[in-house]
Amino acid sequence: MRGSCLCGRVKYLIQGAPRQVVGCHCTQCRKSSGHYVAATQVENQHLQIDGQPNITWFQSSATARRGFCKNCGSQLFWARLDSAHTSVMAGTIDGGTGLRMDRQLHPETKGDYYSLPDIEIVDQSSLKKGQ
C-alpha cells in the first residue's frame, strides 16, 4: 500500500496489514484537517517514509504529534509520542485500499454541518494504547 502528499515530495509505503479506518471528530482533528480525520494505523516498523526532510512534525498535544508536508501542507500522519504505531491519513493512500471505516471517536465534538457515519462510536477510555 502506497501513498503520498499532494505535491509528491513525501511518499510512503505500508508493509503488512494496516488497521481498519477510524474517524475522529475531536476539535484538534477537525482544525488540522478542515473536517474530521479518517486514518488507518500501522506499526512503525512497517511504515517506510521517503522524503522525511519534507515533513514538519507539529506537537499538537502533550502526548501526540502530527506530520505535514512542509511544501503543500498535506496532513499525512498522527502519532502518540510513546507509541510503536503511526496513524496514516486514509485519504493520502493511492488507489484502492480494501479498508473501511469501522469506528469513530469523539462524536460529541463533531461539526454541526455534517451527520455522523452510521458506524460504531468508541468510548476513548476503552481503547488500548496504540489502537
Task: Indicate which CATH number applies to the domain containing 77.
Answer: 2.170.150.70
Residue 124 has what pLDDT?
61
| Mean pLDDT of all residues belonging to the chain | 92
> Which residues partner with 21 through β-bridges?
101
Q: Answer yes or no: is 75 within a domain.
A: yes
Would you put residue 46 in left (φ > 0), alpha (ψ -120 to 50) or beta?
alpha
Answer yes or no: is 130 within a domain: no
Q: Is residue 62 part of a domain?
A: yes
Which residue segment(s) compose the domain that 53 sits in? 2-120
Average pLDDT over residues 34-43: 96
CA neighbor of 86 nearest in space, from 103, 119, 64: 64
pLDDT bucket at 130, cuts 50 / 70 / 90: very low
Q: Between these two residues, 124 and 11, which has the higher pLDDT value?
A: 11
Q: Let me know if residue 126 belongs to a domain.
A: no
Tell me what the mean pLDDT of segment 99-104 comes to: 94
125 occurs within a structural domain: no
Tally the domains of the chain. 1
In terms of Cα–Cα distance, which of 78, 75, 82, 90 is closest to 19? 90
Q: Looking at per-residue confidence, does 128 or 74 come out higher?
A: 74
Is residue 86 scored above 60 in pLDDT?
A: yes
Q: Is residue 65 part of a domain?
A: yes
Residues 93-107: b if buried by 16+ CB within 10 A, e if exposed: beeeeebebebbbbe
With respect to residue 127, please indicate whether it lies within any of the assigned structural domains.
Answer: no
Residue 99 lies in a domain: yes
pTM: 0.89
d(CA 5, CA 68): 8
